[in-house]
Amino acid sequence: MFLKCCEGDRVVSRAVLIVSGIRSDGYREILGVRIGDTESFATWNDTFRWLKGRGLGGVSNLRRSRRVG
């Protein structure tokens, strides 16, 4: 998902990175939401490092949306 954001005197597009997970009891929850410049590998890598720094652990499977952009 992308948002239009004001940056100084111009409007720019920013990527919204939403990370969700499914707990062991089957409930889905949002693990984090970040705003990035793009949906690049570097932005996602930084987001996962941020989650790990917040204590995320025990990840057994990782999937991504196949949507482009």
In this predicted model, what pLDDT tens digit does every residue of 18-37 receive, in sequence order? 988 888 898 999 999 999 88
Average pLDDT score over the chain: 85
State the pLDDT at residue 56: 84
- Outline where DSSP puts E strands in the chain: 2-7, 10-22, 28-36
Report the C-alpha gap between 59 and 51 in whole angstroms: 11
> Do 47 and 19 form a contact (C-beta atoms < 8 A)?
yes
Give every CB contact of residue 31 below 8 A, 6+ residues apart in sequence. Answer: 19, 20, 21, 51, 56
Question: Is 0.75 surpassed by the pTM of this model?
Answer: no
Residues near 63 by beta carbon (within 8 Å), at least 6 away in sequence: none
Joined tokens for residue 29: 């929850």
